[in-house]
Amino acid sequence: MRLLPMPSHSLLLFVVWLLLNNSASPGHIVLALFFAITIPWLVADMRDEHPKIRRPWLAVRYTLMVMMDIVTANLEVALLIIGPIKKLKPGFVAIPINIQSDLGITVLASTVSLTPGTVSAEVSKDKAWLYVHALHLDDEAALIDSIKQRYEAPIKEIFGC
């Protein structure tokens, strides 16, 4: 058995433990190390295989881009809420997706929910369609295009699937 079966999870646990306790005292560092080593060791056999992050740098850039988009999404939705309700044209949209892995689809669906004007509602059984509800649907084709290019393409690259 390897010492660190899930190195990234170990790092995450370590950081989260220190943040939870809001301290970097030696005692907490030892405790964090203990958790970072034992928890992955205990659960390593139970988890499903997920694709690994192939392009960590792109993942960081993607995260930053999504953060910026969240800010604009907030402003946009806030304006839509305050503005005249009668002018809103809500609608459902089916977006063809091309990601096989569950993790990739989850990331895409979450991103879509957090970014401008759309909430993901469901994924079709064959994992080929993501159904989205848009608060204000002006141009369906443009929405599909922007989601595919802005979010789906980088996710595919990050996970290499």
Binding site for other proteins (CB under 8 A): 16, 19-20, 22, 70-71, 73-75, 77-78, 80-82, 85, 88-94, 96, 109-114, 117, 119-126, 128-129, 131, 133, 135, 137, 140-141, 144-145
Half-sphere exposure of 116 (CA within 13 A, CB side): 17
Distance of closest approach, residue 8 Cβ to other proteins, in angstroms: 15
* In the complex, least distance from residue 38 CB atom to other proteins, rounded to whole angstroms: 21
Calpha distance 37→53 (Å, rounded): 21
Question: Closest separation between CB of residue 7 and other proteins, Å?
Answer: 19
Mapped onto helix, strand or coil, the DSSP state of residue 161 is: coil
**For other proteins, the closer CB: 39 or 123:** 123
Q: How far apart are CA 154 and CA 108, in angstroms?
A: 10
CA 142 to chain centre: 22
Residue number with CB closer to other proteins (44 or 123)? 123
Tally Cβ neighbours within 10 Å of residue 9. 16
Q: Whole-number minimum distance, CB 138 to other proteins, in Å?
A: 10
